[in-house]
Amino acid sequence: MGSNIKGRSVSGSNKTRVLENLYIGSAPPVGDDLKEEEFSILWLCAEEYQPKSSEFPGVEVHRMHLKDQGQEISNHQVREVKEDAALLASQIKTGSKILVTCRMGLVRSATMIVAALKILSPNKPLKDIISTLRKIRDPRVLASDNWVDALNRMFPEDKSNADAV
């Protein structure tokens, strides 16, 4: 992570570069745009936005059916997100160009990205990862206490207290 974090919007859309090959964004329009922008992997994290994979030709689509704010995150869902974040972390290492999305690109997609970055940099405090993502994407990133709590439960060994971000 460190100096590799970028923080730049891509081609006028609602995508922000997090790492050289990792982007966060809001729900992407269906069609060829992602392929034309050379994305090879798309993560759809919003339960309410799950177009068919065929609507993103030439792009490998992964799905998380995450609910938005306002609900407690179950232990099962915490484990599920951590497992998928491990897959995302391995995809990041391959150098594939990846877009992680949810409806607005602020909470559910950010949760996946923070978890993957924590897996890749286990000694980096969660609060630092969240703070950096807020600086490059939007101050409202992970403004949801329930998802910050879920991250703390995913990584109980991190004593940095992500709630204090």
pLDDT digits (tens, 9 = 90+) for 78-94: 999 999 999 999 999 99
Confidence of residue 144 (pLDDT cuts 50, 70, 90): confident
| Token pair in block for residue 135 | 């600086």
Q: Is 9 exposed, middle or buried (0-12, 13-18, 19+ CB in 10 A)?
A: middle
| Listed residue (11, 45, 54) closest to 26, CA to CA | 45
Q: Region of 70 please: left (phi>0), alpha (psi -120 to 50) or beta.
A: left
Quick one: average pLDDT of 52-64?
Answer: 97
Confidence of residue 23 (pLDDT cuts 50, 70, 90): very high
Q: What is the pTM of this model?
A: 0.89
pLDDT of residue 2: 38
Report whether pLDDT(118) > 90: yes
Query: Distance (Å, rounded) from C-alpha 110 to C-alpha 128?
Result: 13
Report whether pLDDT(163) > 60: yes
Report whether pLDDT(142) > 70: yes
DSSP 3-state assignment of 138? coil
pLDDT of residue 158: 82
pLDDT of residue 165: 58
pLDDT of residue 164: 55
| Listed residue (85, 51, 12) closest to 77, CA to CA | 85
**What order do you get walking across the sheet with 41-46 strand by strand?**
15-19, 22-25, 98-101, 41-46, 60-66
CATH of domain 2-164: 3.90.190.10
